[in-house]
Amino acid sequence: MENYRDWLDIGGGFETIVRWLQENLDWFFGFIAATVNGMLDASRFILTAPPAIVTIVIFAAIAFYFTSWGVATFTFVGFGLVWYMGLWTLTMSTLALVLSSVVIALLLGIPLGIWGSKSDKVWNVMRPVLDFMQTLPAFVYLIPAVLFFRLGPVPGVVATLVFSLPPAVRLTNLGIRQVPKEIKEAAQSFGCTNRQMLLKAELPVATPTIMAGINQTIMLALSMVVIAGMIGAGGLGNEVLRGITQLRIDVGFEGGIAIVILAIFLDRVTQALGDNKQ
């Protein structure tokens, strides 16, 4: 049995690939790290530059505009509680991580979903890759991220965007494939080009499904950002990890409450955006 393992060393093969990438594509990973750091710095500045009360009012106004008074009230009280617990800066750092990860995931995922919807051959290649990405344990994503980008927020963002990418691809593909044939035939009868068909017929009809994918991407990103606290990604993940390692029930509970408040706010707003498109 040992001879067979020596002949087919899966783990060793993966390590060889990683080492080769580190040695030959260090410039590429450096470029990614610089880009992600720039996005994180910009997001943190935007979120933390105004006084906390101003940002809380803006969040509540966004919730009221897209949802209801009830969600707006929850947003105002919830983020006020976060500020009262002294977790405002950490919560905004977590939100910056989520936003940076989700933006990159959507920039990759939506075009891939569109491409897959236009070609069954492409989708047949994508589907097992997405299955693998969704079933791989979340902690495993941290290993190559740390190897390529070391510790800190950058590997946290990279691991988070890879973990949260599949729903954006899948639901974009599903939404476009479910566009009724009658709509496509009507667009063709008016002489639409393929680009016009996509932009003026398919994407508008598929928007609610795509928004559902965006919602799921955000929720997965938020869950992964917490796990990424183990590699120094910062934010509330570090707070929850500190509560676990030091057996500090109060610290862990307060960090968890802040995460729940942030998750509910993001979930309700993105759900409402999808509903408004129907």
Query: What's the pLDDT tens digit per position in 214-266?
Result: 999 998 888 887 788 777 777 787 788 777 777 778 888 888 899 899 999 99
With 60 as the cut, is the pLDDT of residue 161 above it? yes
pLDDT of residue 26: 80
Token duo for residue 100: 């940076």
H helices within the chain, ranges in order? 2-7, 10-24, 26-48, 52-66, 69-84, 88-118, 120-135, 142-149, 153-177, 181-189, 194-197, 203-227, 236-245, 249-276
CA distance 21 to 30: 12
**pLDDT value of position 109:** 92
End-to-end C-alpha distance for the chain, whole angstroms: 58
Structure tokens at 184: 């496509």
Residue type, position 9, single letter: D
In angstroms, what CA-CA distances link 92 with 89, 195, 210, 260?
5, 38, 26, 14
pLDDT in tens, 9-42: 676 777 788 788 777 878 888 888 888 888 888 9
Output 7 or 266, whichever has higher pLDDT. 266
The first and second tokens of residue 123, run together, are: 């989708």
Radius of gyration of the chain from Cα atoms? 21
| Sequence ranges of the domains in the chain | 26-49+85-276
Which class is 26-49+85-276 in CATH? mainly alpha
What is the distance between the alpha carbons of residues 175 and 214, in angstroms, rounded to a whole number? 12
Task: Name 205's Cβ contacts closer than 8 Å, sequence gap at least 6.
Answer: 175, 179, 180, 183
User: Each residue of 39-52: pLDDT tens digit?
Assistant: 888 988 999 889 99
Q: Cα-Cα-Cα-Cα dihedral of 70, 98, 131, 124, to 10°?
A: 100
Whole-prediction pTM value? 0.84
More confident residue, 198 or 90: 90
